[in-house]
Amino acid sequence: MIFKDKYILQNYLKEVMLGITIALKEIGAQGAYIYLKKEYYQQLKKNILPLIENLPIEIFEKPEGYLCGEETALINAIEGKEPFPKIKPPYPTEKGLWGNPTLIHNVETFYCIAKIAQNQYRHTKFFCVNGDVPHPGVFELPEQATIEKILKQTENLPSFDFFVQASGWASGEILLPHELRQPLNGLASIIVFNAQKHQATQMLEKLLDFFSRENCDRCTPCREGIYRLSEIAQKLVSNKIPHTQYQTIEDILQALKYSSLCPLGKTAAVSLGSYLKKLFVYDN
């Protein structure tokens, strides 16, 4: 659902490469990796290779899996290890790739570095708009634009009953139409759902299935928390959940948010909690 990185690499590859070379020079790095998911690797490597042939930069194809986007899992993958997250601290800037201090950023950051170096930075950001909209795509707009303004300016504000998931499907928070007058605050994605078309129960089941499959099972809060939420959700969708279990849901969400080893559990707390509170409207 968040496809801005591909868009930037397709349309602003030279700016991204300039940003990377500036970073290499400024921090005195010995080399760099461009880390791409399999789909992007196959589509973009032919454009990237000519630009890096005389630079200490390699392209690395990311293994499949949601967790591989986490920075320490990324480091493990490049080192040829299982792409699982590490406990932090130490952080990659202290001890990263092969034990060396490592700078990790996304392509939009390097694009911005290039724009700053060229005195062309205008405090804009790339936003993905997707879902039940007539004009899906990636749009460069002021970074503090509200969700409502983004949808209006891109001619994607629905006239039907809808809700929005901000920041991507797996990690996003559910927002209702009256909550859209706020910026995304560093996030990049707006997914619009037709409320009549998408059943909350089915969406919750898909989300729980996703987090169950992508879970590395290495930390108890995430492994057990998502399993217990799945159990409770089965009762919730059949209206068999007692009111006393609402506090149990809150306790599990808090454990996921504050005790999970990596961002998977933390994002699960945001998205699952949001679905439960906004779409099932239980009292907490």
Confidence tier at 1 by pLDDT (50, 70, 90): very low
Residues 147/129, Cβ–Cβ less than 8 Å: no
What confidence tier does 2 reach under pLDDT thresholds 50, 70, 90?
low
> How much is the pLDDT for 283?
45
Residue bearing the bigger pLDDT, 146 or 279: 146
Domain boundaries, the chain: 4-117, 124-194, 200-279
Compute the radius of gyration of the chain from its Cα atoms: 20
* The model's pTM: 0.87
Pick the CATH number of 200-279 from 1.10.3300.10, 3.20.20.100, 3.30.930.10, 1.20.1440.230: 1.20.1440.230
pLDDT tens string 182-216 = 888 777 899 999 988 888 778 888 888 888 888 88
What's residue 146's pLDDT?
Answer: 95
Q: What is the pLDDT of residues 101-127, one digit of tens each?
A: 999 999 999 999 999 999 999 999 999
Residues whose CB is less than 8 angstroms from the CB of residue 239 and which lie 6 or more positions away in sequence, other chains included: none
For 68-84, the pLDDT digits (tens) are 778 999 999 899 998 88
Give the right CATH number for 124-194 from 3.20.20.80, 3.10.20.600, 1.20.1440.230, 3.30.590.10: 3.10.20.600
Closest by CA position to 215, among listed 228, 203, 202? 228
| Long-range contacts from 39-46, C-beta under 8 angstroms, 24+ separation | 40/5, 40/6, 40/9, 43/6, 44/6, 44/9, 44/10, 44/13
CATH topology of domain 4-117: Rossmann fold (3.40.50)
Residue 246: phi and psi, rounded to 5, are -60, -40
Whole-number Å distance between alpha carbons of 134 and 136: 6
